[in-house]
Amino acid sequence: MHLRSQPIEFVLFLCASFSVVILLLMLLFVVMEGSLAFTRLGTQLILGQMWKTNSDLYGGFPLIYGSLMVVSGALLISIPLGICTSIFIAEILPFQLRDPIKSVIELLASIPSVIYGFIGVTFLAPLIASIFGLQSGATAFTASLILAIMVLPTIVGVSGETISAVPIEYKEAALALGASKWQTIRNVILPLSKSGMLASVMLGFGRAIGETVAVLMVAGNVAMVPTPPWNYLAPVYPVTAVIAMQMGEAAVGSLEYSALFGLGLILFIITFAVNTIADVIVRRRPVGRSVQL
């Protein structure tokens, strides 16, 4: 028995280590390709204000700012929307309707991102242009809206899970003590699933900051920090869009090529940090602690 199971265990081990090895190799590759940019440009790659390929200027600040701006805009929209939706589905919606509604929201995740881009370009951008009286609807706000819809399934899915993970006894106890439905949600369910919700937001962040195609189509692509910096109705040029736009053209081994990898590495680090934080938060299981009503 033991002898026969060993090869299978080995195969399973190979499969499991495959993704880890790939991750390490990718990290190594990105670091190696980007190292030229980091040694030649230094902090200029992160803090430089000018991104001009023609004159070999690679200042990534407007691009990184653009990415963070679009993503925070998206989260500002999708966090309240997503968490309210998940509470509604888990607690208020009649039991029979929960699964159909959940799968409809999950369907949002299966729509290819180009389709979001199309809708953004042909419908949302003109709409926003006419509402705000803009020349063009390709702005940070449009990109944020599209991204908000794209990360919604992640937020609703993960925070929905944590809400359903709250033990039924807690809810029953609260209701038996005379708490109303809203009091139960506010004082029992929300505190218990807080960390899960935070994790869902972090996962949504990771999804949003890495999104390329839809953002490239609607963000407007101007490599400048908007004036004033909080002006969401101005175009931005997120990092992923720059990389997708210029990678095919950059000569292998050139400074441009390396700078693009450097930007990729910065994105990688941001996403990695956020995902790790999310992971740590999820691991701190909330259920089982006492609740103060």
Partner 1 sequence: MNGGEKVNRERSHGSIQTSRAIIVMTLLFIVGFASGYYTDTLFSSQTVVWKEDVAWRTESISISGSTTVLPIANACAIAFMNKYPGTSITVTGGGSGRGYSEVIDGVVDIGMASRPPKQKEINDAKEKGVALWLYPIALDAVCVVVHPSVNKTLKLTLQEVGKIFAGIYTRWSDVDPSLPDEPIYVVVREPGSGTRGTFEEYVMEPYGYDVTDAAHVRPSNPAVRTTIETTPYSIGYVGLGFVTSKMVVVALAEEEGEPYIYPSIENIASFKYPISRYLYLVTSTRPESGSLADRFIDFILSPEGQEIVEEQGFLKLPRYPAGV
CA 130, CA 233: separation in Å to the nearest integer? 12
* Interface residue with partner 1, options 37, 138, 192, 239 (CB under 8 A): 138
Nearer to partner 1, 126 or 210 (CB): 126
Q: Restricting to residues 73-102, name those near partner 1 by CB under 8 A.
A: none
* 113 binds partner 1, rule: CB under 8 A: no
Nearer to partner 1, 137 or 206 (CB): 137
* 218 binds partner 1, rule: CB under 8 A: no
* 237 binds partner 1, rule: CB under 8 A: yes
* 50 binds partner 1, rule: CB under 8 A: yes
Residue 58 near residue 255 (C-beta atoms within 8 A): yes
* Interface residue with partner 1, options 19, 39, 135, 290 (CB under 8 A): 135
- Alpha-helical (H) ranges within the chain are 2-41, 44-47, 61-87, 95-110, 113-119, 125-132, 140-164, 168-176, 181-184, 190-210, 213-218, 239-247, 255-283
Q: Write the burial class of residue 203 (CB in 10 Å: 0-12 exposed, 13-18 middle, 19+ buried).
A: buried
Nearer to partner 1, 43 or 227 (CB): 227
CA 102, CA 220: separation in Å to the nearest integer? 33
83 Cα distance to chain centroid: 15
* 216 binds partner 1, rule: CB under 8 A: yes
How many residues in total does the chain contain?
A: 293
Rounded to a whole number of angstroms, the minimum distance from the CB of residue 260 to partner 1 is: 11
CA 219, CA 240: separation in Å to the nearest integer? 11
* SS3 state of residue 126: helix
Rounded to a whole number of angstroms, the minimum distance from the CB of residue 114 to partner 1 is: 13
Q: Position of tokens 């930007």?
A: 263
Rounded to a whole number of angstroms, the minimum distance from the CB of residue 280 to partner 1 is: 38
Rounded to a whole number of angstroms, the minimum distance from the CB of residue 87 to partner 1 is: 39
Residues facing 289 on adjacent strands: 287
Nearer to partner 1, 54 or 290 (CB): 54
* Interface residue with partner 1, options 12, 14, 23, 136 (CB under 8 A): 136
**Judged by CB under 8 A, how many residues of this single chain contact partner 1?**
30
CA 240, CA 218: separation in Å to the nearest integer? 13
Which residues sit at the interface with partner 1, rule CB under 8 A? 1, 50, 52-55, 121, 125-126, 135-136, 138, 216-217, 220-224, 235, 237, 244-246, 248-252, 256
